Amino acid sequence: MIRRLTAVFCLLSVISLYRTSDSYAQSDPSGQRRVTDLYAITNAQIVTSPGSDAFTGTILIKNGLISAVGKNVTIPKGAQVIKGDSLFIYPGFIDMGSQSGVKKPEEVKHPENLDPSNPPNEIAGISPESSVLDYWKAHEETMEWRKSGFTMVQLLPQGQMLPGNTALVILGDQSSNNIIRENTGLYAQFETHRGLYPGTTLGIMAKFRELYKNAELQSTHESQYGSDQDGIRRPELDHSLSAFYPVINKESPIIFRTEQALEIRRAIKLQEELGFGLTLFNVKETADLDAILKESSANLILSLDLPEDKAFKQDMEGATEEAKTSHKRVEEAYKKALSQAGQLEKADIKFAFTTYGVKKQEVLKNIQKMIENGLSTDAALEALTSTPARMLNIDKYSGSIASGKMANLVISDAPIFSKDAFIHYVMADGYLYEFDADKSKNGVKDADKIAGKWSYTSETPGGESQGEIRFEKKGENLTGEIDVDNPNGGGTITRELENISFDGKNLSFSFSIQVQGEELTVNTKGLVEGDKFDGSISIRDMGTYSLKAEKRPSTTF
Amino acid sequence: MNIYRYLAAALLGMAANVSIAQTPKGNVLIKNATVLTVTQGTLENTDVLVQDGTIKKIGTNLSAGKDMESIDASGMFLMPGIIDAHSHLALDVVNEATAPITAEVKMSDVINPFDVGIYRALAGGTTVAHGLHGSANAIGGESIVMKFRYGTSDPADIVMKEAPRTIKFALGENPTRVHGRGKNIQPRTRMGVEAVIRNGFNEALQYQKSWKEYNENKGKKNSTLTPPQFNLRLETLSDILNGELIIHCHSYRADEIYMLINVCKDFGVDKLVFTHVNEGFKVAPELAEYTMGASVFSDWWAYKFEVYYSTAYNAAILMANNVVTSINSDSDELIRHLYHEAGKTQRYGGLTDDQALSLITINPAKQLGIDEFVGSIEEGKQADLVLFNTHPLSVYAVPQMTFVDGVKYFDIKNDDDDQRLKVSPSELVEPVYLHAEHERCMHGVELFMEEGQLFNHAF
């Protein structure tokens, strides 16, 4: 009897051991829990950090962390093995600023007798006390940036002069709130509510100085009130001013959107006068600023948006000499804009990137353009990984591939910055996301035939659905978007079209939708005849359905 | 006006700025020119030696130092760099038209050194310009005196650091229309403008008092005083009351000019210049007695109701009454030929050459408080110089070379078709605004107005 009891105890303790291990978790009737959080990516080309050489090895991931990386890693039982032969692995990218998935706060109703010369802060676009996380409503939109290799994103609030504080999130699983750090900085812009004070850059500069000084004074008053001295008047706390405290205490920076050189100088001027930590955000112009950027302690975040190469597309034959000369200057300016990142590298000025205002498919293309114009691939990787990690003060646990760091990885089928590279997998927070490698070269012929608005009807088992597809000609290529019924609820959502290809007859494109947290790629192809499109849509493992569309006559000429 | 107190302030201002990076300073010898000194008569066949940005010597048979450019100016006329006391050139924003008083804003925050207008002004012999806030508000922002050191990308490089602080005021139709009619707030009438200014000054007095009290007791044992609110607008207004800023007031009618003189008298403010001043001739003795002068147009008027009673003899009458008088452009176009504007006073009023030239050199320098540095050709002054092919008051005059601090920024023989400093990487043809230069004073205001069409006039 005693022996039997001991056996039962032994069994129980073994079971409880198993239960603490995630791989044998409690039952999951919804069936959504993943099979394992233990992954092994074997025999891949691994670049652990910018500047280090790729080596062939294995990465072991457990519990959302990298548990081993090296040439001889023993693969534990139960691990999901991903054969990494011919794959390249890099640290997950960090986006220093995005408003993807962040909704605009509702406009505050103007009071009856609004004095435009002295409007309340929230009407004047000044709400530094609000948190971007309160407006982070569309997580799926943010998560789509994984496709471009991003695993962490600094979210920025929408609004005007001081819209609120920023936060760092990870592009992980929907079961988590994915918040890494709240209040990573105060976002500021040279944007105003037209017609109300402050209405211009002149007013913003003055208002900023005044807010900052008064925040300091309020803090002084508060500490007086908290001291032993009796008879101190109660401080009237202004929450807009209190929001500056972390900045005054140098715990977080002002993240100032400064695209042009003069805006950059204005933000640095305020920094020098008031003494806060500064992040120059979405910078598009750095020429002539090397010295001042080097001298300043400000963090530099470059825009991934590049100017259009209109000048190179223009046919200048038969133009006057004068026009040719001035055209040449535009070409030079364009070249200069593309070579800025490389110039900064040469001047040993560190920078990170932001996707603010950039399309997903342009991220890697634009980095390639920078590389063609003098940026090294090491510096490009640095700007996407270790530098932003250092700026955000999270380099202890992210920004490179090492045992114990967060399992944030970008996995491509060619060196990441090469022209043919396709991001095959992204791992964020230890969750693996796979993307379809639709490698068919998407050439476009006769873009004019397609450009415009199309109305479509699609027959699916769920019934008939209708909507609009809009194509726009960009150079020789096409961009576009489609309105589809929201699979997660009422209304329609708009999705960007990808891989658009048209050979004069056959049109194909794809887009993605999120259904219950899972990303589905919808491939569309068919024939175009005149203004009619007859084709099909297919979703992997789900079937193929018909889609017919008709081009609407243009209302403009 | 207490000149000594003012000079002391200017010198103190200089001392505070020594740490600022150096702007370029040149060396040059200009030989055999007819030198129009403006303050010390005309010197035939004279050499001017410039060293380290300063006029070192004026004389004959001077020799150039080592590696110094020597220019043979035989047959040419050398005059001081032209000074424009009223301009909105090279500013990204002109009006913060959202409040009747915006004394807290600073034009130095919005300088645009890439404005190609800087080069065009140099090509017209203008070396210094006073960049003003617009006239939408009763009290606009702090202005900035700029030296046109073309070619820099740093706004700080074109600031004239020696210049004292100045501020824009505006009376009459513009502020009453923008705020009264546009937004239904004070001021809606000329009386309202006066009330706004007096209220502002009175608030500044109270503000000064509360801060004085706080600062005196700060750190004292058992003090229960807490910091007052910081108000940049009232800070600037109390600096005006303390005599640290020169007021440049947009004005047309004699009654409102006299009104502001009285307001300033009441508050002990004596650094006051009127600009436009079309009815200045009616109150010339008062202007002479109480102000630092009047900056007028040569012959521009009738662009709105308050500017009908005007005369091209205004400058001459003011001068005859001992008012320090200047002629300004208020325009990115007129700034390119202020010497023509000055010349008109010889047709209307028969001013002498020196008197006419003083309107665009030493007199505006006095109004800006920079006459000890610029405004005439004298040894020891900064070498802001223009070389003309003939006498600058001739209709055939064309500037040949323009120097700021002895550095040549314009040379007609070295003048490219495209002098832009900055070119858009994607705009094949940059937009050109044909009427921009005529709307500077109310620039940006229509953005804030529902009745935008009311503002399609100038100044």
Sheet architecture: strand order including B144-147: B82-87, B126-131, B144-147
Both tokens assigned to A135 = 């407006």
pLDDT at A314: 81
B197 close to B247: Cβ distance less than 8 angstroms = no
A39 and B CB contact within 8 Å: no
Residue A222: name the closest of A250, A242, A197 by CA: A242
pLDDT in tens, B222-257: 889 999 999 999 999 999 999 999 999 999 999 999
What are the residues facing B57 on neighbouring strands?
A: B49
Q: What is the pLDDT of residue A445?
A: 79
The predicted pLDDT at position A31 comes to 67
Task: Assess contact for B89 and B118: CB atoms under 8 A.
Answer: yes
Q: Any chain A CB within 8 A of the CB of B188?
A: no
**Residues A535, A538, A544, A549, CA torsion sign:** negative
Chain A contact present for B183, CB below 8 A: yes
Q: What is the DSSP letter of B177?
A: I
Band the pLDDT of B16: cuts 50, 70, 90.
very low
Q: Which residue of B179, B420, B428 is in closest CB contact with A310?
A: B428
Rounded Cα distance between A67 and A34, Å, is: 19
Across the interface, do B448 and A194 touch by the CB < 8 Å criterion? Answer: yes
Q: Which of A32-41, A147-156, B107-116, B318-327 has the lowest mean pLDDT?
A: A32-41
Q: Are strands A299-303 and A352-354 parallel, antiparallel or unpaired?
A: parallel
Give pLDDT, residue A371. Answer: 98
Query: pLDDT band at residue A272, thresholds of 50, 70 and 90?
Result: very high
| pLDDT: which is higher, B365 or A109 | B365
Tell me the chain A residues in contact with residue B97 when contact means C-beta distances shorter than 8 Å.
Answer: 199
Residue B40: is its pLDDT beyond 90?
yes
In this complex, is the C-beta atom of A313 within 8 Å of any C-beta atom belonging to chain B? no
Domains in chain A: boundaries: 35-91+399-435, 95-106+114-398, 447-551
Given a contact cutoff of 8 angstroms between Cβ atoms, the answer to whether A368 and A376 are in contact is no
Give residue A291's identity as a one-letter amino acid code: A
pLDDT tens track for A320-348: 988 898 899 999 999 999 999 999 999 99
- Which residues of B fall within a CB distance of 8 Å from A206? 96, 102, 104-106, 232-233
The class (CATH top level) of A35-91+399-435 is mainly beta
B106 at A interface, C-beta within 8 A = yes
Lowest-pLDDT range, A9-18, A485-494, B125-134, B186-195? A9-18
Q: Is B453 on the interface with A (CB under 8 A)?
A: no
Fold designation for B81-374+430-455: TIM Barrel (3.20.20)
pLDDT at A18: 40
Local structure of A247: helix, strand or coil: helix
Cα separation, B187 vs B398, whole angstroms: 45
Rounded CA separation A392/A375 (Å) = 23
Strands (E), B108-185: 126-131, 139-142, 144-147, 165-170
- Whether pLDDT at B445 is above 90: no
Say whether residue A434 is in contact with chain B using an 8 A CB cutoff. no
Q: Which of A11-25, A439-453, B210-224 is predicted least confidently?
A: A11-25
B155/A517 Cα distance (integer angstroms): 51
Mean per-residue pLDDT, B38-53? 97
Q: Return the closest-CA partner of residue B441 out of B426, B427, B459.
A: B459
Out of A195, A209, A266, closest to residue B98 by CB: A195
CA angle at residue A144 from A300 to A391, to 5 degrees?
A: 20
Residue type, B151: G
Distance of alpha carbon A210 from alpha carbon B265, whole angstroms: 30
Question: Which of A433-437, B16-20, B430-434 has the lowest average pLDDT?
Answer: B16-20
List, for residues B331-380, the tens digit of each pLDDT value: 999 999 999 999 999 999 999 999 999 999 999 999 999 999 999 999 99
Rounded Cα distance, B196 and A299, in Å: 43
A447-551 shares the fold of A95-106+114-398: no
pLDDT at residue B439 tops 70 = no
Contact flag B418-A329 (C-beta cutoff 8 Å): yes
Q: Is pLDDT larger for residue A552 or for residue A130?
A: A130
- Select the more confidently predicted residue: A273 or A25: A273
Contact call for A269 and B109, based on CB within 8 A: yes
**Whole-number Cα distances in Å, B225 to A219, A222, A231, B229, B238:** 14, 12, 9, 12, 21
B301–chain A nearest CA distance, Å? 29
Q: What is the largest CA-CA distance in chain B?
A: 77
Between residues B436 and A408, which one has the greater pLDDT?
A: A408
Q: Give percent of chain A with pLDDT exceeding 70.
A: 92
pLDDT digits (tens, 9 = 90+) for A67-77: 999 999 999 99
Residues 6+ apart with CB under 8 A from A298: A267, A268, A271, A278, A279, A280
State the pLDDT at residue A484: 86
Packing angle, helices A377-384 and A321-346, rounded to 10: 70
Length of chain B: 459
Q: Which residue of B has its CA nearest to A307?
A: B426
Checking DSSP bridges between strand A506-515 and strand A498-502, what pairing results, if any? antiparallel
Among B226, B233, B418, B427, most A C-beta atoms within 10 A, so best to mutate, is: B226
Element (H, E) at A546: strand A543-551
pLDDT bucket at B431, cuts 50 / 70 / 90: confident
Determine the residue type at A548. Answer: K
Q: Which of B133, B230, B427 sits opposite A210 (nearest CB)?
A: B230
* Radius of gyration, CA atoms only, chain B: 22
Judged by CB atoms within 8 Å, which residues 189-248 of A form the interface with B? 194-203, 205-206, 209-210, 213-214, 217, 220-221, 224-225, 229-233, 235
Nearest-angstrom CA–CA distance, B216 and B407: 49
Alpha helices, DSSP H only, in B230-352? Answer: 232-241, 254-266, 284-290, 314-320, 338-347
| C-alpha distance from residue A64 to each of A17, A37, A105, A432, A552 (Å) | 20, 7, 33, 10, 49
State yes or no: pLDDT of A507 exceeds 80.
yes
Instruction: Parse chain B into domains and list their residue ranges.
Output: 81-374+430-455
Q: Whole-angstrom Cα distance, residue A19 to residue B54?
A: 86
Residue with tokens 């505050």: A108
Strands (E), B165-259: 165-170, 245-251
Q: Is B447 in Cβ contact with A194 (below 8 Å)? A: yes
Contacts of A308 in chain B (CB under 8 A): 426
Q: Which one, of A103, A91, A173, lies nearest residue A138 by Cα?
A: A103
Gap from A333 CA to chain B (nearest CA, Å): 5
Record: contact B106-A217, CB cut-off 8 A: no
A385 with A351: CB under 8 angstroms?
no
Domain A95-106+114-398 in this protein, CATH class:
alpha beta
Task: Outline where A177-260 has alpha helix (H).
Answer: 201-225, 239-242, 245-248
| pLDDT given for residue A27 in this prediction | 63
Which of A180, A187, A198 lies closest to A282, judged by CA? A187
The CATH fold assigned to A447-551 is Lipocalin (2.40.128)
Confidence (pLDDT) at A247: 98
Q: Span A134-152, mean pLDDT? A: 95
Asked if A337 has any chain B CB less than 8 Å from its own CB, the reply is yes
Q: Do B230 and A213 touch (CB under 8 A)?
A: yes
Task: Provide the pLDDT for residue A89.
Answer: 97
Residue of A115, A202, A229, A234 to mutate for B, most B C-beta atoms under 10 A: A202
Identify the pLDDT of residue A393. 96
| CB of B191 less than 8 A from some CB of A | no
Residues linked to residue A469 through DSSP beta bridges, in sequence order: A454, A482
CB atoms within 10 A of CB A106: 7
* pLDDT in the model for residue A251: 96
Residues 6+ apart with CB under 8 A from B417: A322, A325
Q: How far apart are CA B266 and CA B344, in angstroms?
A: 37
Cα angle, residue A301 at apex, residues A298 and A303 outer, rounded to 5°? 150
Give A199's contacts in chain B (Cβ within 8 Å).
96-98, 447-448
Q: Do the chains contact at A232 and B224, CB–CB below 8 Å? A: yes
Inter-residue contact B213 to B144 (CB < 8 Å): no
Cα of first residue to Cα of last residue in chain A, in angstroms, is 94
The residue-averaged pLDDT of B97-116 equals 97
C-alpha distances out from residue A435 to A427, A432, A442, Å? 11, 10, 17
B126 and B85 Cβ atoms separated by less than 8 Å = no
Give residue A2's pLDDT.
45
Please write the tens of the pLDDT for every residue from A211-241. Answer: 999 999 999 999 999 888 889 999 999 999 9
Longest dimension (CA), chain A: 106
Amino acid identity of B199? N
Supply A479's token pair: 């961009």
Closest to B424 (Cβ–Cβ): which among A233, A261, A330? Answer: A330
* Residues within 8 A of A (CB atoms), B 223-282 only: 223-224, 226-233
Quick one: pLDDT band at residue A557, thresholds 50, 70, 90? low
Contact assignment for A333 to B425 by CB distance below 8 Å: yes
Tens digits of residue pLDDT in A1-25: 444 444 444 444 433 444 444 444 4
Token representation of residue B161: 């650091």
Q: Is A475 on the interface with B (CB under 8 A)?
A: no
At B353 the three-state DSSP class reads: helix
Q: How far is CA A99 from the centre of its chain?
A: 8
Mean pLDDT estimate for chain B: 91
Nearest chain B residue to A204 by CA distance is B105
Whether pLDDT at B441 is above 70: no
